[in-house]
Amino acid sequence: MSDQRPLPRGDAMENLVIAQMRADLRAARRRRRLGIPGWSILATATAAIVAVVAITVSMLATPTPTYAATPPMLQIEAAPAGQGDAAELLTDLAEQLRTSDEPDPAPPGQPQQIDVQTWGLVTTVGAEGEKVPPPYVAPENMTLTRYPDGAWSQVVVAGTPYDTQGKPVDAPTATPPGTELWRIDEAAGEHTYLFPDPLPEDPDELRQLMLDVGFADESSPNEWLSLTTALLLERVLRPSEEAALLEVLADLDLDLAGTTTDRLGREAYVFETPASDAGFVDRMLVSPSGHILAMETVWVGHDRTDIPSPSVVSYYAWEGRT
């Protein structure tokens, strides 16, 4: 805990100086009545003006912190009346999915392909010299393919960079959109899956399956959403599987933050966790038809100097699951 008092703001300092000038003028009048020379009043006033100018200049010269570019925060509007309870809404959306006649997006025996736009804040630790973060956000487009024999492919290409307001930018130093950044191809048996088998459609069984994968703290809603993200990066879910997942998540301590338009232009409900001990809020965006569209992590802490608070530190926006 700091014992330093906060410094007065610039306008407060100015008021202090002006008050001092008035006090000096009153004293000068008293001195004049007593025969004190006027030059001392002029000297005092000059010193005060110099002080005001010095304060103003020092404020203008104070360097503003250089923050890493992060995506704009989602614009979240209050949920419609009668939809204030996260658990109830998630349960309703799950029921809607269960009773829908949506076809299985990934029939057995077919490769499953997951397309997702993703971005994550990169922090370099221990680099010599100052590392200047790029003044733009460089998302990546990732295609994950899971083959019936267990083979795995992950291809990551550069997306279109945008500024902190979300507007596309022509950044000469950015990797051209569409450029392959890296890829991983693993033959059958080489990739370790967290969820190797189709998911149970019963929420209790699915909850147990997720617990078996492992948590550092199974009471943390942030970890449940993190594991949900991992699941959605591995498997294309049938509507009944996704319904069971929503029912599992309905038991968490989530809040319905409201509705929004996600980074790919889709309408969504926003469910969010309380802030974790490390200062992170995780958000899950779900479409009105009950599909999980995106996940985001927002830092809301107060002890970092590389990003302002709050800031988006990572997001996933699923574009296609087939």
Partner 1 sequence: MISRKFMSLLALPVLVGAVALSASPAAATTDATQDQVDAVIAEFGGTQTAANEVSWDDGAVVLTIAAQTTSRGITAFAVGGCPSGTFCAYSGTSYTGSRLTFTACTTGNSVAALGTVRSLANARGTGTVRAYDGWATVATLGPNTGTASVAAGTDKINCS
Q: What residues make contact with partner 1 under the rule CB under 8 A?
A: 118, 120-128, 134, 142, 144, 154, 156, 172-176, 179-184, 186-187, 190-192, 194, 214-216, 222-223, 226, 229-230, 233-234, 276, 278-280, 297, 304, 313-314, 316
Per-residue burial over 132-166, b = 16 or more CB atoms within 10 Å of its CB, e = otherwise: ebeebbbbbbbbbebbeeebbbbebbbbbbbebee
239 vs 290: CA distance, rounded Å: 9
Looking at the Cβ atoms of 93 and 313, the one nearer to partner 1 is 313
Q: Which of 312, 250, 311 is nearest to 286 (CA)?
A: 250
Q: Which of 145, 243, 129 is nearest to 186 (CA)?
A: 145
Looking at the Cβ atoms of 101 and 128, the one nearer to partner 1 is 128
Q: Which two tokens stand for residue 300?
A: 């809301």
Looking at the Cβ atoms of 15 and 208, the one nearer to partner 1 is 208
Beta carbon of residue 107, minimum distance to partner 1 (angstroms, whole number):
24
Looking at the Cβ atoms of 28 and 231, the one nearer to partner 1 is 231
State the Cα torsion 216-218-224-229 to the nearest 10°: 30
Q: Which two tokens stand for residue 273?
A: 């966790």
Q: Long-range contacts for 216-223 (Cβ within 8 Å, ≥24 apart)? A: 220/276, 221/252, 221/253, 221/254, 221/273, 221/274, 221/282, 222/273, 222/276, 222/280, 222/282
Beta carbon of residue 203, minimum distance to partner 1 (angstroms, whole number):
21
Looking at the Cβ atoms of 89 and 318, the one nearer to partner 1 is 318
Cis preceding-peptide flag for 308 (omega within 30 of 0): no
Q: Which two tokens stand for residue 263?
A: 């980074």
DSSP state letter for 267: E
